[in-house]
Amino acid sequence: MKIHVTEYLDVDLNSEKWCCNRCGHEIENARENYKKGCLIAEREMNEVHPPMASGQAFSFQPDTDYCRLIEIYCPSCGVMIENEYLPPGHPLTHEIEIDLDALKKKYLESQKR
């Protein structure tokens, strides 16, 4: 019983695990932040936001004193699941929290119809 949650993330209601929907790898307990089970990389802003024209210093690069770019990857297949622009020192966000018990109940009720 896998439910599609985001472009690259499923929740398996049987095992209560976050899963990569590209390779099926079980990432983390679905009652936790899936990012705990992922590979995390901090990217250099100048790699991601290069100057707009050669010989120019102008770009749309955020100020690194106030912003950092974090990329979150599946530890099995390496697909990028998410990325975040965060202030330095800010912890990873926990943006998805699913009521698994209610979702299981709703899923089972829909199967009875």
Tell me the domain boundaries of the chain. 2-91
Q: How far apart are CA 66 and CA 87, in angstroms?
A: 5
Read off the tokens for 36.
Answer: 């705990």
* Region 50-76 average pLDDT: 86
- Edge-to-edge strand ranges of the sheet holding 2-4: 2-4, 9-12, 17-20, 26-29
The rounded percent of the chain whose pLDDT value lies above 70 is 98
Range 27-53 average pLDDT? 92
pLDDT higher than 90, residue 6: yes
